[in-house]
Amino acid sequence: MKVVKVRIRRGGTNENMMVYPARYRAQEVDRCGLGPAILAYQGAIGRGQGEEYCLICLQDPIADIYAKDPNMEIISADETDRLMTQWNKDNGLPEEYSGDPNRVQAVIAKTLLNMPLSEEDKRAMDPDDDSCQGLNKRVCNIRKLAEKRGQKIVE
């Protein structure tokens, strides 16, 4: 799999707010990518700028075809990690998030009622433990994301 950096422009009158390159196919990205379809958005259009970028991860042959478009380019895993980290920061996304709000609420309720927490409850509340959903850390490491899905990033 390869990471493709996609240039998106702000749409004009009678266009969508975000206009992707003509070659970009959302269904293809979703079906042939790492999933979710978009790894990260820069968020610049939402802050009033005229263009921004997003990152997608595709199977090698499809990524190579996308990279022929002048508005798309294959980037390294290190550059991907750097951009994901920076864009999360620029967009005000917290380092930790609730991967399973119901589980987090259940653990809080147990704690408030002085009920014992199971080992799984404790793991769910440890953001450094990604073995179960609960309070989780954002992963800005494309190699790790790919590995979790049984894939490998090719550079």
User: pLDDT band at 110, cuts 50/70/90?
Assistant: very high
- The rounded mean pLDDT for the chain is 87
State the pTM of this model: 0.75
- 2 — pLDDT class (breaks 50, 70, 90): very high
**Ranges of each domain in the chain:** 2-94+139-148, 96-135
Q: Is 44 helix (H, G, I), strand (E, B) or coil?
A: coil
CA distances from 18 to 4, 9, 33 (A): 17, 6, 20
* DSSP bridge partners of 10: 18
Written as six digits, the tokens of 108 are 């809080």
pLDDT score of 98: 80
Query: What average pLDDT does this structure show over 9-27?
Result: 87
18, 15, 16: which is closest to 6 by C-alpha?
18
35-89 residue pLDDT tens: 655 778 888 888 888 999 999 999 899 999 999 999 999 999 999 999 988 988 8
Return d(Cα 34, Cα 116) in angstroms, integer.
Answer: 38
